[in-house]
Structure formats: structure tokens, C-alpha cells
Structure 1
Amino acid sequence: MTDADPTLPPRLSTATFDRLNGLVTRAEDRSDDRAVTETFTGTEVSRVPECAPADVTLAVERARDAQDRWAERSVDERERVVRRFHDVVLDRQDELLDLAQLESGKSRAHAFDEVMDVTLTSRYYGYRAADVLSTERRRPAVPLLSSPAEVVRHPVGVVGIISPWNYPITLAVSDAVPALLAGNAVVLKPAETTPYTALLLVELLREAGVPRDLVQVVTGDGATLGPPLVDDVDYVSFTGSTETGREVAAAAGRNLVDCSMELGGKNPLLVLDDADLDAAVEGAVGACFTNAGQLCIGTERVYVDESLYDEFRDRFVEAVSDLTLGTDYDYGVDVGSLASADQLETVREHVADARDRGATVHCGGEPRPDVGPYFYDPTVLTDLPVDAEAACEETFGPVVSLRPVSGEREAVDRANDTRYGLNASVWTENRERGRAVAREVEAGTVTINGGYVETWAAIDAPMGGMKESGIGRRHGPEGLLRYTESQTVAARRRAITHPVGVQDGLEARALTVALRLWRRLPFLR
């Protein structure tokens, strides 16, 4: 690739990749590296350093050395850095969008969703971290005789973040922002196929004022780098598959290290009998095919009340058939590429299994090599057996199944008939009915009359999965406090007991009377 390669976006060049390679933590100079390809074409564009366990050790050491100095800064100062990062991301978004598209194959509009997420997250925590982290007064042990307890928040130390390829902007940095605000350092291990997007984000963090060694990046094979990272850090934030999440959680547990993780989903969308069909069809298209279906909170199962099913199916299929595919580094394309040959193969296998089991393919159902090596047509299935791969396993591609249901009870039962519980969507003209149904759905987030945006973008509210879709929460105060250790500090105003315990029966009887009185006085409860 030359500095002026006409096949790439004009903002990217050999110099871009060389500059970003310099941000990778390496314990020693080595020649080992791995290819990074443009997803739209499958063409190699650069080679990124292949890190080893020794590099992870060095990264954690550097981060730990920098963390003490960072934690000494006031939270207000850390907030100012994050607010500058918000502005830098907006200023440098074109280069960031180019890299995200190049490495992941998504459309530009879907890449911009990630810019929005990072800025919303930075704005939220950049103005609220000081309040969330402030020392909190709690009720004393014994009113009048004890001082109020204080809860102090300390940073955990070094946070290890393992991020996936499907949202290389959001998932590389949106979990890092609250970790940094809490006074921690970060060691980031991005997905093998999207390292440069993560490296550019680290460059932008440094431009905003984050100290150079505070955020370290190790690139390369997850199976090689993941175990030493989990062993060395003080907290693990992981986003990825349920299977890998189990391994990460087990390793963290052995080390008595806390963790949070967003894992797989097989997310349902429920269209109740009073839904606005125009809105439901349009919303379902976005919920199912954003980022070519490679979205943890995207919809893969749609349950429609039988009174609306035929009309919904016909209109939905028509709308999906009109979606455009393309490789443009500009706005206007509806759906981009799958991220890799592996993802394409999974989609092909699920659709082939569905056909073999008698499912009907209403549109799509085929790869699109005429557009690019990993493109697949948006696909709508009906008559899908409940034990088919596309019905019960996460496809993570542009494939959705439709099924009629006889009322909201069946819709809820089918929605909950899965080992996952990440996100769900309910469509109804009656919002109170929608809220009642939402409370019955076993999912960490439920959006009424929307696919996922309203809950995902509600940064003040926690987001995460139930069942096998994860543990812990990102967003909201919870997403910041997870990166802290709480410490309780309390003081005794005067001695109220014998140094060892209750001295005699008389004292015990007096305390019994006091305890009974205590419960009956509202101002002391």
C-alpha cells in the first residue's frame, strides 16, 4: 500500500498505520506482526504488531505506575479531560469513521452511531463523575452515640478491557471513560481484526490530556493475551461471546478479581395487537439489520399478534428487500458487510439449516460476492422450527425470523424461551400496557416502540444482560461505581459497651428496651 492508495479513504495512508503502530506496548523489538485487512475487499492494508504475554506484563506495569499519579488528581480535573475528549472525537470523526469502516465493514451511518455513543458517554460522565464518586454519608450505628458512617470510593487500580470487533469505537473506549474518571489506569486488548480503531482512540485520549502511560494497548491473539491480562489486572471488563465470557469469568474468579461482561443475545421483538404497523415495520427493520445484524442488542426473533401477522410480514419483507448494500466510505448505504469469513460462514450455515428444516425464505438467503467478499443479503425467515440453529442460537448476521402468536401471553412466553436475556422490544399504542409487558420479559433492557436506541442511549440508566447474556452493568452511576472499591469509615462518639461485650444481664436488659424503643421512633429508623 502506498501513501496515496486510491482504493482507501483519503484520510488514511501508510503513515497513519505506522503512527498508530507506535502506540502498541512492546517489551522488546520483534518482527512478528499480523495482517489487518479492509473488510470491504479482503485486501491487506497494513500489519500490526503481534504482542506476547511479556508485553501484557509490561503494559500492566506501566499502567500501574501511571495510575497512582492520575488518582491523585481531583475528579474535577479528570472530568475536564473527558470533556475535551468528547470534543476531540467530534473534531477527528472522519478519520475515526474511515478506520471503523475499513476494519469492520459497516456502513458509515452505523459507524457514526458509535461516535454518538462515545460522545454521549463522555458528556454524561464528564459532568457527573464528581457527584457519583463523592463521599456519601450513611446512618450511624447508634444514633447520637455514633458518628454517621462515610462511604469513600477508591479506584480499583488497573482495569483490563477486552473489546470485540463489531463496535470497534464504542466498545474500545466507552467502558474506558468511566474507568479513567474513577481514577484507574486501563490496559486495552482490542479484537484482532480492529486494532487500528482502538489505537486511534487512544491517540485521541492522549490529545485530550490523558497521561501517556495511563492507557496501554496490546494487540494480537486473544487466546494468547487474554489469560495474562486477566491474571495481572485488578478488574476485567469484557464484551463478547457467552462461551468466552465463561472462561474470562472463571479466570477472574480464581484471582478474586471482579468483572463485568456483556455477552450474547437472541433478542425478541413483540408486536402486540394494538401496535402501529407503520412504526413497527420501520422500527423492526432498524432493530434487525443495523450493522448487518452484528449487534449484541439487535433483534433476531419477531413475534407478531396473529391479527396483524400477514400484513406485518408482507410490509416487512418489502421494506427489507429495498435495503441497499454497499462499500462506500460515505453516507447513503443502508447495510454494510459482515466482518469476516467466519461470520459469513455462520450465517450461511444457519440459513441452510433453516431451509433444510422447512423454513420459508421470503427475501435474501444468499451471499453477495458481487458487492464484497463477506456481504450477505438481508434475510427474512418464516415457519422456522423452534429447535433450528437460527431460532435458538445467536446468528449475529442479517437474518431474522417471524412467527405469529395468539396474544401477549404467548408472545412473552416465546420471548423468554431462550438462555439469553440481553434486550427486547415491545410495540403497542398503549404505553402502560407496554410497560406491563416489558416487566414480564426476561431481558436487561426493554424498549417500548423502539428497537434498542431508547434504552442504549439512556446513559443515565444501567444496561446489561440477564441469564447467559452477562453480569454487571455499564452506563449510569452503576457503570462508574463498578470500577471502585467502597470503603466504610465510622467513628464512635463515646464508649457505650464493655470493651469485650455486654457486661451483665442488667446492661442486656437495658439494651433490649433501647432496641424496642428505637424501632418505634421513626426519626431513628
Structure 2
Amino acid sequence: MAESARGVHGGSLARSRVLTSFDPRTGETVGDYAVLDQADLTRAVRVARSSEKWWAALGFAGRKRWLLDWKRVIVRRAGELVDLISAETGKPEADAAIEVMQAVENLDWAARNAERALGRRRLGSSWFTRNERASVGYLPLGVVGVLGSWASPLYTPMGSIAYAMAAGNAVIFKPSELTPGVGVWLAESWARLAPNQPVLQVVTGDSSTGAALCRARVDKIAYAGSDAGAREVISLCAQTMTPVVVERFGKGAMVVQVDAKLDDAAEAAVFGAMSNAGQSPAGIQRAYVAESVYEPFLERVAARAGKLRPGGDRRASYGPMILESQVEVVRRQVKDAVAQGGRLVVGGLDSIREPYVEPIVLADVPEDSQAITGEAAGPVLIVNPVASMDEAVERINAAEHGLAVAVFTRDVRMVPEFAERIRTGVVTINSSMAYAGIPAMPFGGVGEYGQGHAHGEAGLREFTRTLSIAQKRYRGMADLATFDRHPRTLRMAKAVFRMRHGQG
């Protein structure tokens, strides 16, 4: 088995350790892959630095052509990729197809918009520097390491891979040990297009391989995953002063105002909480509902959630828990919520039938419950009443899950002011997860959720360094940057300064 394991670039490597991926629905083997070590990572970085020089020299227009060609390769073979995502995660085919489409949209947007976002542009100057012409541009960092997520093994890492490559970097992608095949497929699709220029490499392995990538002295690490994993990555990267962009797991919240369309809000809450078996970081963990519409909303949620059925067939609403240990997290959180006074509206502990978890809806859950303070896991939705929108803000901010908040109301004009009071990266109005399909829209966490941004212009700039240039075009009227300045020049400068800044 070891002799046939695949590692860097998907080629043959003889390794003493082998990683096997399994279909969580059936337990069947999907593939065997090499567990790469520090020496392998060192070689991968060396190759990446060579490829990065060629890639950066192409410029924005050249990289755009290559990336759009790569996009077409992925689209033509999308059926293979959908099947592989379904096999490694257990997702229904429809969910896997949506993930592929969203990933391709991000690749397309990054390729087409990198020059506009990162190209050199003129800057203004002050009165004293009118003779200077200033500009700013954004250059690639060099080599970026990406540590992938198992929950969305293509869409989430593509939010770093596509943007880093469009900015001119080479990328070394270490997929989750649960979904290595998706990463290998991605690298092989690039290799078909540019076999002699491994701008994208994939390294397979377990947590030791991820640690080796953090120590490999790349120019930046992008990580998506658990709280514990984020802290470990930050700690490892600190040893080499490698900057990190982090997207931690942890679903967001919903606020339902008294004037909300309750059917729409209930539909969004259930989908946000239950889709992908509740394993979507862009999803909904808890809904805070105005007291006067609390019971009608809860009834609608219960009716919708009660119709869902997990499973491994095409008609299933969602698939299994991808990470086996997450099942125990769901059990522990539900048990704690009920023990502290929360009430079960749909499902309960008997809904947990590994590897599947049937829908669970909890109501009136104390805010210090593990189900609220812990990382959200599984198809579980918490619905709590609030006396006012001020109380909703206090509860959302206290939980510190700062990725996204969905607000449902007919009075959309009040939302911007309301949103500014919430410590969150994204606020949506009358929708929940749709924002994840807008490539131009940057999102990132605050506080404990994460650091840095994904998607949009901010996502492109995450993988660049700033280069500012100032050029002296002629001798200024008030040249103060010299020891030969005349006293008359300084008097004139002071007079102009008072005139420009000392008056109302």
C-alpha cells in the first residue's frame, strides 16, 4: 500500500506512513495518500519558490489567462470532483455540486479582478509635496501555505488558493486528512494545464504534515478549522514569524424582528442550521426572536425541521457528520443545554445515530450553555426569545462568534445602525447563507472568530505586500527637506499652514 501512496503533485512516492480517506456514509476506503514530513515540505517550498518567479513575472494579464484556463479544466471535469467530494464528506450530490460552483465563481472573480484591486495607482499629495508623484501597488508575498477544511474541502480553501494565485503567489495546499483526495484532484487539474510549472502543489498527510508546513518558512499561512487548531497554527507560525490568516469554525446568529416575514425567516434559519449536517461555518447556530413573534416563529421552524431526513442517498436532506468526534460534541452540547433548562422542540439525544444526526431544535437555552458558548456542531438550532433588539445585540456580542449575523425585518433602513453595534464581520438582511456566494464580498471574523479576510479585494490583498513609490518631478516652491532652506521659505510654509489648518 505504501508504495502506491500519492503525495506532492499526485505522483508516486514510497512512504513509510500512509493516510487513508474513508466515505463517512459507508466506511469504505476512498483512497490512500502519503503522509509527508518536514523534508518533503522543504522540497515543496523550494520548488514553489522557483515556480513563483515565473508566475509573478507573467503579470496580471498573463495570470488571468492561465487561471481562466484552469477554471475551464475544472468545469469540464466537474462531475468527477462532485463525486469525490460526496465520497469523502458524505454530502448529497446537490450540495457537492453547489460547492464546486461556488469555488469556481471565486476562482473566476479573483482572476478577473486582481489587476483592478492590486495594480499600481496614483495617490494624492499635500500642499508641501505637490512636486512629488506618489503611487501604491501590491506585490505577491512569494509562497503561501493553505491548510484546508474538511467541512467544505473545496470552497473554503479556494477562498485562499484562488486569491493567492491571482495575486502572483505560488501555493502549497495541505488538505484536511479527512478529504485529501479533493486536494490531490485540484493539484492534478492544474498539472494537466501546466505540467512544468507547479504553481499549485498539494501535500497530503495528518496534523504533523500541517505543522511541518507551518515550520517550512513560507510567506503566509491561511488556515480554516477549529479553535484548537487555530491556536496551534498561530503558535507554530509565531516561531518563524510567519503571518497567518485564520478562519475559525463557529456558526453565526439570526435576529428576527417583530415585523419579519416569519416563513422566510424560519426557512433561512433551518437551512442555515441544518445544511451540510450543520457543518457550515457560514450557517446559523442560534436565532434571537422578538417575544411577540417567538412562538409563531418556533412553530414554523419545528414544522420545517421535522420534515428533514439525513442519509446517504440522493433524496436525503443532508449527509453524515464528516468528523466522527463531532458527534460526541453534539451529544455533549445538547445534554448540557437540556440540563440547564433548555427545552427540546424537535429531536433530542435519540436523534444522534452515528454517523447521522437528525434535526434538533432547542428553545429557551441559557446563554452560558455549552451549546451557545462552544463551537457549533451538527444540525442543531437554538431559538431564544429577546425583549428588545438591544438584548439581541448584547447576547450576540457576548457569545463572540463573530462571522455573520442575519437580520430579518421589513424595516431594512434600521439595519445598518443596528449592524454597527454588533461585533461581526458580515450582516445580511432577510437572507442567511447567500452572502457566501458573492465573491466580491469580503468577510472575516472579529475577536475570537478569526483574523484577516477571505474573498473580495480584501481577500486578494491578504496575500500581497505593499510597495509605495514617490517621484520628485520638479523643485518645489517650499522645499523644506534640505539644510539649505531659506528663512523666507519657512515663513511662507508657516503662513500657508496656518491658513489651511487654523481656520474653521
SS at match of 1:23: helix
Q: Deviations over 1:349-371 (max 9, x none)?
A: 1112223323222222246687x
Q: Which residue of 2 aligns with 1:424?
A: 405
* Residue from 488, 493, 503 that aligns with 1:511: 493
Bigger CA drift: 468-477 or 208-217? 208-217
**Cα distance, 1:477 vs structure 2:** 1.1
Q: What is the alpha-carbon distance in structure 2 between the residues aligned to residue 418 and residue 412 of structure 1?
A: 10
**Cα distance, 1:486 vs structure 2:** 1.2
Q: What is the alpha-carbon distance in structure 2 between the residues aligned to residue 253 and residue 495 of structure 1?
A: 46
* Residue from 48, 62, 67 that aligns with 1:63: 48
Letter in 1 for 2:495: V
Q: What is the alpha-carbon distance in structure 2 between the residues aligned to residue 327 and residue 161 of structure 1?
A: 30
* Residue from 451, 454, 457 that aligns with 1:477: 457
Q: Is the 8 A contact 1:304 1:403 kept in 2?
A: yes
Q: Which residue of 1 aligns with 2:9?
A: 23
* Residue from 104, 110, 115 that aligns with 1:119: 104
* Residue from 480, 486, 492 that aligns with 2:466: 486
Q: Does 1:293 align with 2:307?
A: no
Q: Is the 8 A contact 1:367 1:375 kept in 2?
A: no
Q: Which residue of 2 aligns with 1:339?
A: 322
Q: What is the alpha-carbon distance in structure 1 between the residues aligned to residue 83 and residue 418 of structure 2?
A: 41
**Cα distance, 1:112 vs structure 2:** 2.1
- CA shift in 2, pair 1:132/1:339, >3 Å: same
Q: What is the alpha-carbon distance in structure 2 between the residues aligned to residue 123 and residue 210 of structure 1?
A: 21
**Cα distance, 1:209 vs structure 2:** 4.3
**Cα distance, 1:375 vs structure 2:** 0.6
SS at match of 1:220: coil
**Cα distance, 1:224 vs structure 2:** 4.4
Letter in 2 for 1:310: E
Q: What is the alpha-carbon distance in structure 1 between the residues aligned to residue 459 and residue 300 of structure 2?
A: 39
5+ residue gaps, structure 1: 2-16
Bigger CA drift: 251-260 or 57-66? 251-260
Return the TM-score normalized by structure 1: 0.89
Q: What is the alpha-carbon distance in structure 2 between the residues aligned to residue 369 and residue 149 of structure 1?
A: 62
Q: Which residue of 1 aligns with 2:292?
A: 307
Bigger CA drift: 165-174 or 492-501? 492-501
Q: Does 1:38 align with 2:18?
A: no
Q: Which residue of 2 aligns with 1:175?
A: 160
Q: What is the alpha-carbon distance in structure 1 between the residues aligned to residue 195 and residue 409 of structure 2?
A: 46
Q: Does 1:358 align with 2:351?
A: no
Letter in 1 for 2:319: G
- CA shift in 2, pair 1:144/1:350, >3 Å: closer
* Residue from 117, 130, 135 that aligns with 2:120: 135
- CA shift in 2, pair 1:309/1:108, >3 Å: same
Letter in 2 for 1:86: K
SS at match of 2:312: coil
* Residue from 326, 351, 358 that aligns with 2:311: 326
Letter in 2 for 1:352: K
Return the TM-score normalized by structure 2: 0.92
Bigger CA drift: 149-158 or 202-211? 202-211
Q: Which residue of 1 aligns with 2:218?
A: 233
**Cα distance, 1:517 vs structure 2:** 4.9
Q: Deviations over 1:157-185 (max 9, x none)?
A: 00011111100011232311111111110
Q: What is the alpha-carbon distance in structure 2 between the residues aligned to residue 176 and residue 211 of structure 1?
A: 19
Q: What is the alpha-carbon distance in structure 2 between the residues aligned to residue 101 and residue 502 of structure 1?
A: 73
Q: Deviations over 1:395-439 (max 9, x none)?
A: 321111111111222222222221221111111112112333223
5+ residue gaps, structure 2: none
Q: What is the alpha-carbon distance in structure 2 between the residues aligned to residue 390 and residue 400 of structure 1?
A: 9
Q: Deviations over 1:474-518 (max 9, x none)?
A: 111111122111111112234554775464644432321243455
Q: Does 1:74 align with 2:56?
A: no
* Residue from 268, 286, 291 that aligns with 2:253: 268
Q: Does 1:467 align with 2:453?
A: no
Alpha-carbon RMSD across the aligned residues, in angstroms, is 2.6
**Cα distance, 1:383 vs structure 2:** 2.8
Q: Which residue of 2 aligns with 1:456?
A: 436
Q: Deviations over 1:241-280 (max 9, x none)?
A: 2332233234434433332111133521111100111111
Q: Is the 8 A contact 2:321 2:378 kept in 1?
A: yes
* Residue from 441, 449, 457 that aligns with 2:422: 441
